[in-house]
Amino acid sequence: MALTIDQKQLIVAEVAEVAGKALSAVGAMYSGLTVAEMTAMRVKARQSGVYLRVIKNTLARRAVADTAFACMSEALTGPLVLAFSMDDPGSAARLMQDFSKEFAKLEVKVVALGGKLLPVTELSRVASLPTREQALSQLLSVMKAPVGKLARTLNEVPGKLVRTVAAVRDQKQAA
């Protein structure tokens, strides 16, 4: 069923709004996937905070034209499913990487991060980016390390004194 101009404008506005807030985007060819496989991918996308949309390429080009993902415009060819990461930059890449391993017919064609178009070979690198919680955890461990080392160093001085006094005591008791 053909879309009316009003429906197309709504779709473009929705995708443009999502693209304006998204951290990264991945486009993949989905031809050959069954309805059940696409449904499974949509369910997993919702769980991981990824906006997933099958959209006509001309509408997608219009939607991303005024966003950081305008660099993707020329790469939008063929039947594509677009995935936008909303929570952390690697979630869409992780989703597409996992499903492309599981379903050989899903082929990643375009990867964009921070307004830059990346080669498809960088998908695994983008997928390995930490989530917000992991990044905060790593930051806190880096901030905590010097304080912990200082505490251990300061604790070593009285500990060494106690060991020295104990060794003198043992020596006197043995004599």
Q: Are residues 18 and 86 in the same domain?
A: yes
* pLDDT tens digits, one per residue of 74-127: 888 888 899 998 888 888 888 888 888 888 888 888 888 887 888 888 888 888
Domains identified in the chain, total number: 2
Q: Are residues 85 and 158 in the same domain?
A: no
Q: Are residues 32 and 115 in the same domain?
A: yes
* pLDDT tens digits, one per residue of 2-49: 778 888 888 888 888 888 888 888 999 888 888 988 899 899 988 888
What pLDDT, on a 0 to 100 scale, did the predictor assign at position 43?
92
In three-state form (DSSP H/G/I as H, E/B as E, the rest C), the secondary structure along the chain is CCCCHHHHHHHHHHHHHHHHHCCEEEEEECCCCCHHHHHHHHHHHHHCCEEEEECCHHHHHHHHCCCHHHHHHHHCCCCEEEEEECCCCCHHHHHHHHHHHHCCCCEEEEEEECCEEECHHHHHHHHCCCCHHHHHHHHHHHHHHHHHHHHHHHHHHHHHHHHHHHHHHHHHHHC
* pLDDT tens digits, one per residue of 153-172: 888 878 788 888 888 898 88
Q: Are residues 39 and 98 in the same domain?
A: yes
Q: Are residues 93 and 170 in the same domain?
A: no
The pTM is what?
A: 0.73
Which structural domain range is residue 121 located in?
A: 5-129
